[in-house]
């Protein structure tokens, strides 16, 4: 990697600080105020903010535009890019466009299938997969070439992220996949939100054994639960989620008015455990449509002030 930090997030991780990132979804419309409001609520509490790319295949303002709006107000975005909607030509073009606007972090994802979204009749693309996208961004940065081998004028140098899900099937394969993403060029990983700490620790152990934690920064994902219903829903209806009975019971055992507080307690316990796991270099807080809570979580977790 270059001597000059590629991004603030990269700098923080390189220095060995425990990083904090959060998430922000663009609006289903054109008003940048919506994003700015979310940005204001997160400002100062996080090192970078992920901006989703038509998440769940629901049509929203583009991730590149929303990222640019956050940038303008002084926040550092992590632009998410899925391979579902754009072919390699459009993806490379947008990577360069994003870089030209000042975006320096990218998270390379497959993307939820369009059948889940607001326009399931659409033709999907998947010209290349997320692994190819990681490699593409890496080659652009380290060799200055695009996918055809063309030497780009002023190539983009992005800090490259990928997702990992220690809770998907089959378990043993998940570390092979992590290794492959690192080889392809991933600099940092954000995991699916963690409720099954045992399974996560097992996965981290396997990652350490393969030497992977020396090569990549892993940020553990957390999402505060609001109710037992939410816990059950996530376990049963959301693909690749593992919410153990014990956690669901904890949420169910408290009176409804105390559920949110219990959920936050569980979240803080998770973050505390993450800070003690060797190889975990940060936390990625996914408080879906509840960005206001992030500040409280970061403060209560003792992660303030941010560097």
32 makes contact with other proteins (CB under 8 A): no
122 makes contact with other proteins (CB under 8 A): no
179 makes contact with other proteins (CB under 8 A): yes
Region binding other proteins by CB under 8 A among candidate stretches 100-108, 174-182, 284-292, 294-302:
174-182
Q: Is 124 exposed, middle or buried (0-12, 13-18, 19+ CB in 10 A)?
A: middle
**Nearest-approach distance from CB 110 to other proteins, in angstroms:** 4
Nearer to other proteins, 84 or 104 (CB): 84
149 makes contact with other proteins (CB under 8 A): no
Residue 120 CA to residue 8 CA, distance in Å, equals: 37
**Token representation of residue 111:** 């993307």
Residue 305 CA to residue 74 CA, distance in Å, equals: 17
Region binding other proteins by CB under 8 A among candidate stretches 20-28, 158-166, 217-225, 276-284:
158-166
Beta strand 48-51 with 217-222 is unpaired
CB–CB of 79/121 below 8 Å? Answer: no
**Strand locations in 86-203 (E):** 105-109, 159-164, 188-193
Nearer to other proteins, 211 or 240 (CB): 240
Among 106, 160, 184, 230, binds other proteins (CB under 8 A): 184
Q: Is 214 exposed, middle or buried (0-12, 13-18, 19+ CB in 10 A)?
A: exposed
CB–CB of 59/99 below 8 Å? Answer: no
CA-closest candidate to residue 199, choices 215, 220, 183:
220
Residue 257 contacts by C-beta under 8 Å, 6 or more apart in sequence? Answer: none
**Nearest-approach distance from CB 16 to other proteins, in angstroms:** 28
Nearer to other proteins, 5 or 244 (CB): 244
54 makes contact with other proteins (CB under 8 A): no
Among 11, 112, 273, 296, binds other proteins (CB under 8 A): 112
Among 130, 138, 190, 270, binds other proteins (CB under 8 A): 130
**Nearest-approach distance from CB 88 to other proteins, in angstroms:** 6
Footprint on residues 204-263 left by other proteins (CB under 8 A): 239-240
Radius of gyration of the chain (CA): 19
169 makes contact with other proteins (CB under 8 A): yes
Region binding other proteins by CB under 8 A among candidate stretches 1-9, 107-115, 279-287, 298-306:
107-115
HSE of 306, CA atoms in CB hemisphere, 13 A: 21
Footprint of other proteins on this chain (CB under 8 A)?
Answer: 83-84, 88, 110-113, 115-116, 124, 126-132, 135-136, 147, 163-165, 168-170, 173, 176-177, 179-180, 183-184, 192, 239-240
């Amino acid at each position: 990697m270059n001597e000059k930090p590629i991004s603030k997030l990269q700098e923080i991780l390189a220095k060995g600080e425990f990083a904090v990132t959060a998430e922000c979804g663009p609006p289903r419309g054109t008003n940048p105020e919506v994003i700015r409001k979310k940005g204001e609520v997160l400002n100062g509490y996080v090192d970078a903010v992920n901006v989703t790319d038509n998440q769940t295949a629901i049509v929203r303002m583009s991730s590149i535009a929303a990222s640019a709006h956050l940038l303008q107000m002084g926040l550092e975005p992590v632009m998410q890019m899925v391979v579902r909607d754009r072919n390699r030509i459009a993806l490379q073009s947008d990577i360069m466009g994003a870089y030209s606007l000042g975006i320096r972090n990218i998270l390379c994802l497959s993307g939820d299938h369009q059948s889940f979204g607001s326009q399931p009749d659409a033709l999907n693309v998947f010209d290349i997969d997320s692994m190819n996208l990681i490699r593409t961004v890496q080659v652009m940065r380290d060799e200055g070439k695009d996918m055809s081998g063309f030497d780009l004028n002023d190539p983009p140098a992005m800090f490259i992220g990928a997702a990992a899900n220690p809770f998907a099937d089959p378990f043993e394969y998940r570390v092979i996949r992590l290794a492959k993403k690192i080889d392809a060029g991933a600099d940092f990983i954000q995991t699916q939100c963690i409720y099954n700490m045992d399974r996560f620790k097992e996965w981290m152990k396997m990652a350490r054994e393969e030497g992977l934690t020396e090569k990549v920064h892993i940020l553990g994902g957390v999402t505060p639960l609001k109710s037992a219903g939410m816990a059950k829903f996530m376990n049963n209806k959301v693909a690749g989620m593992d919410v153990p009975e014990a956690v669901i019971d904890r949420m169910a055992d408290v009176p409804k008015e105390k559920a949110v507080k219990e959920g936050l307690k569980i979240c803080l316990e998770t973050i505390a455990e993450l800070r003690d796991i060797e190889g975990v270099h940060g936390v990625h807080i996914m408080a879906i449509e509840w960005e206001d809570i992030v500040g409280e979580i970061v403060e209560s977790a003792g992660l303030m002030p941010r560097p």
